[in-house]
Amino acid sequence: MVKLDKKATRLYVLDTNVLIHDPTALYHFEEHDVVIPMTVLEELDKHKNGIREIARTARQVSRTLSDLTSQVTFEEVQDGIPIPRLSGESGRLHFLCYNDLKLLDEVSDSPDNRILAETCRLRDERPDASVILITKDINLRIKAAALRVPVEDYLTDRAFEDSDAMIEGASVVEHSGLAGASLWETLNVEVNVERQNHHTFYHLSGDMPADWHVGMLVSDSENGAEFEAIVRELGPKSATLQLLINYRHHAGVWGVHAHDSRQNFTLNLLMDPEIDLVTVAGNAGTGKTYMTLAAAFQQTLDTKRFERIVFTRAPIPMGEDIGFLPGTEEEKMSPWMGAFHDNMDNLLRNDDGESSWDNGATRQLIGSRVQIRSPGFMRGRTLNDTFLIIDEAQNFTPKQLKSLVTRAGRNTKIVCLGNVGQIDTPYLTANTCGMAAVVERFRDWPHAGHITLKSVERSRLALAAEELL
C-alpha cells in the first residue's frame, strides 16, 4: 500500500472481492463511512447464481444490503444508511452511481477500471475526506498506486499481523547445571507442589510471563528436559501447571516415543481427555501425522475411548489438477491420502522391519474403524465418539475450517495438522488461512492446545533442499 496522510473523515470504497472474501466487511471500519460503487453491485449480481461458495457468499452480501435498505427512505439512502456496529460507533453506507462516468485515459472498459474511475470521481468531489479504495486484488492495487489513487489491502481478516508469527505454544528456558534452576530463577515466583489423582500440579504465585497462555508447554529444555508441564490455569498473579507424562521411553503411544519436549507435549495433548481441540504445526518430517495416527489408534483400538477415526484433508493440488477421478468417495480421496498410507505402513512395522499394512486382515480391521472422508460432504453431520483428523489445515479458509470444527458432537476430539509455510491455495496466506485463525481464536480456551514442532529426523537431501531451494 502507498502511505498517505489520512484526514479525520474517511470514505472506504469496497471492491467486489472484499465483500466476497468477508461478507461482514461493512461492519469492520469503525466509525468511518463505507462506499459501494454500482459496478460492485453489478458484479455481485453476476456471481449470485449457482451452488459454489462464491455464489453463496454473493447472495449473503445481497441479503445484508437488502436488510440495511429495507427500512429506510430514498432520501436516507442518498444521505447514507447508518451501519450499526458492535463498537458502538455508527458509520454510514453510501452507494456510488454516476450516469456520466468517464474512464481514465488510455484504459479499457473493465470492472476494475470503472471502480478506479468511480473512486477518482468521488475523491475529486470530496476534498474534505480521505477516499481510500479497499481491494484484495494485488494488480488493482498496483494500478491504483500508479494512477495516484489511495488504495489499501483488506487486513481485518488476518489472525495476526505480518510482523508477528503464529504462536509456538511453548515457553522453553534452557537450564545450565541444576535441574530447572534457570527456569525458576527466570520466573521468580513462589511454588507450591500438590499431588492429585496420580497427577502433579505446580501452583505458582507472582508475576506471570506476558507470553504465557492456557494450554501451552513450559519446559526447561528443548531436548533432555527435566521439567515439562502444561499451563492449566493462568491469571496475572497466579498459574497452575500440570506435570506431563514422559512418553520418551517405556510409556509410548502405539509403539511411538517422543524425541524432544515438543513431541512429548504433542503426545500429551493427543492423549489428554481434557483437551478437545489440538492444533499441530511444523515442517514436513516433524512427525505430525505419525504421532496423531498413533494416538488415534491407541484410543480407538486399545482403550476404546473413541468408536472411529475420521481422516480428511483439503483436496488442493500442489500443481496442475489431474482431473476427474472415478470411484466411490473413499476411492476419489485415495490419491490425497498418501500421508495416511505412508504413516500406516511405518506404524505397522514389526521389529524386523516388515509391515503388516499389506495384509488383508489388517486392512479390514483398520478399515472398519477408519473413515476417509472428503470435506465437501461434511456439512450437516454430527460426529459422536470420533477422533477427527484434519490434515493440511493451512489450505482451508477460516470459514471452511469452522464448518469442520463445528461437526464435533459428544465425545469427539479434533486434531488440525498443517504447515503455514506450504499453502497451495492461491488466495490464502500464512496469517489469513484457517489454521492461523483456529490457533489464534482458541489460544486461551482451556480445552484446546497448540504446539509448533521443530526437531526433524530427515534425510540429508531433504534438509539440504529445505535450506537451498
> pLDDT digits over 440-455, tens only?
999 999 999 999 998 6
Encode the chain (469 residues) as per-residue pLDDT tens digits.
555 566 678 899 999 989 988 888 888 888 889 999 999 999 999 988 887 778 888 899 999 999 888 888 888 888 888 887 766 667 889 998 887 777 766 667 788 888 998 898 888 888 888 899 999 888 999 988 888 888 998 887 776 655 466 889 999 887 554 444 567 778 888 999 999 988 999 999 999 998 899 999 999 888 878 899 999 999 999 999 999 999 988 778 988 999 999 999 999 999 999 999 999 999 888 889 999 999 999 999 899 999 999 999 877 665 555 566 666 656 666 666 667 777 777 777 766 666 665 666 666 667 678 888 888 888 888 999 999 999 999 999 898 899 999 999 999 999 999 998 888 887 788 888 999 999 999 999 999 999 999 866 666 666 666 666 6
3-class SS at 193? strand
Q: What's the rounded Cα separation, in Å, for the pair 161 and 146?
A: 26
CA 305 remoteness from chain centre: 27
Q: What's the rounded Cα separation, in Å, for the pair 257 and 261?
A: 11
* Fold of the CATH domain 170-468: Rossmann fold (3.40.50)
Which pLDDT does position 417 carry in this prediction?
95
pTM of the model: 0.75
Share of the chain above pLDDT 90, in %: 37
- Kindly report the length of the chain: 469
- Which residues are paired to 241 by β-bridges? 202, 231
Q: What's the rounded Cα separation, in Å, for the pair 62 and 369?
A: 44
Question: What sign does the CA torsion over 176, 181, 182, 183 have?
Answer: positive
Q: What's the rounded Cα separation, in Å, for the pair 137 and 353?
A: 52
Do 325 and 300 contact (CB within 8 A), yes or no?
no
- Which residues are paired to 387 by β-bridges? 309, 413
3-class SS at 367? helix
Which pLDDT does position 469 carry in this prediction?
61
Amino acid residing at 158 = R
Instruction: Specify the DSSP element, H or E, that contains 54.
Output: helix 53-69
Q: What's the rounded Cα separation, in Å, for the pair 354 and 413?
A: 31
- Which residues are paired to 205 by β-bridges? 190, 238
Architecture of domain 10-152: 3-Layer(aba) Sandwich (3.40)
Do 108 and 8 contact (CB within 8 A), yes or no?
no
Which pLDDT does position 430 carry in this prediction?
86
C-alpha cell at 12: 472506504
**467 φ/ψ sector (left φ>0, alpha ψ -120 to 50, else beta):** alpha
Q: Shortest CA distance to 272 belongs to which of 409, 418, 415?
A: 415
Domain ranges in the chain with CATH number 3.40.50.1010: 10-152
Domain ranges in the chain with CATH number 3.40.50.300: 170-468
